[in-house]
Structure formats: structure tokens, C-alpha cells
Amino acid sequence: MRMKDLKPLIEKNRSYRRFDFGRKISEDFLVALVDAARMSQSAANLQPLSYITVSKEEMVTEVHKHMRWAGYLPDWNGPVNVERPVAYIVVLGNTEVKQTYREVDAGLAMQNMCICAAAEGIGSCMIGNLDKNMLVKLLEIPEQYEIIYAVAFGFPVEQVQIVPFAGDVKYYRNENQEHFVPKRLLKDILIKRG
């Protein structure tokens, strides 16, 4: 695959926050995403990450209660019931493994999962604002693990459009609930060439 073939997939890989709760994702697919995460680069190859998949509807509903959605949208409290994610993958750090650049490892692993999901038409949203204490109890996470992030998955019911940066990085929605994400232009971030 060439970069020109991959770029549309990267552009399609947005943070989606509204999904079709009626379209489920198989546990096997989530396991395949974890396998893709496992293959990501890792600082000093320490591989400090572990994962929990959540796909059973009752547990997805419980996990969802502990997520905080879209901080830039103050008038929106997260997806309504029919637009909730249908699955989550919780990213854990193993405290018994040296934690050099753990956040970088997590970012790389989650990006692998999200790109692979996008290739199958499945949207995702990486979530760092969550109630970790409640999730540790709910998911019965062993003591040696810490929650780093969670990633929500589902078939998107919204379009997310990239728009040129115009002085504010905050994503927003218009009156039709269309979602827009400002991105800085290449000419504004490429400081020097050659």
C-alpha cells in the first residue's frame, strides 16, 4: 500500500461521538484490534500495555456511564442511548513493567486500533476523561494495572468534517449537529524544509 492510498483512511479516522447502537461489533473483531495494538512500536520494546475488551451490551452500558464526552461541547452531555458506542477497549498500564514513555506507547497502540477499525467502516473515539476508580471496580481490574485510556467503537451516525484552522482549535457542531474539526494547515506547521 502506498501513502496516497493510506491518506484517505487517515482522514476518515476521526473522533466519532455518535454511533448506531443497533449495529454490534463482534468480540473477535475487538480481539483483532488488540492484536493490531500489540504490534505497535514500544519505547525500549518494554510493551507495558494490556487491554480489556467490553462488548456485552449490559457491560457496555455500565462502562459508558463512567465516560466524559466532548469537553468542547458544553451543551452536550454525550451520546443518547441509541447513539452510544457498542464496544470499548480499555488500555491498561502494567505497573510491574517499567513505564518509559507509556503515554506514547498507548497513543501508538490506540492509533493502530482506530486505523484498523476505520478500514472496516467502524468509528472510534479515544477517551482520557473517565472515572478510573469506578471502572477499576466495575471491570475488576487487578492491582498491578492502571487505566490509561479507553477507546469507544461503533458504526458512526455522524459526519465529521475537517475544516481549516481559523484561530481556534475547538471542534464544534452547527445547528444541524454536523461536527467540524479545525486542523492547522501544512504551511503553518512545516517550519523548515530540506
What integer pLDDT is reported at residue 99 of this predicted model? 76
Which residues on neighbouring strands pair with residue 123, listed in sequence order? 154
What integer pLDDT is reported at residue 131 of this predicted model? 97
Q: For the chain, which residues make up each domain, given as ranges?
A: 3-158, 159-194
What integer pLDDT is reported at residue 121 of this predicted model? 97
Same fold, 3-158 and 159-194: no
DSSP annotation of 66: T
Q: Give, in words, the CATH class of 3-158.
A: alpha beta
pTM, to two decimals: 0.95
Query: What is the C-alpha to C-alpha distance for residues 40 and 53, in angstroms, rounded to an integer?
Result: 18
Quote the crossing angle between the two packed helices 3-12 and 102-119, to the nearest 10°.
Answer: 100
Low-confidence ranges of the chain (pLDDT < 50): none
CATH of domain 159-194: 2.20.180.10
What integer pLDDT is reported at residue 100 of this predicted model? 80
Whether the Cβ atoms of residue 77 and residue 68 lie closer than 8 Å to each other: no
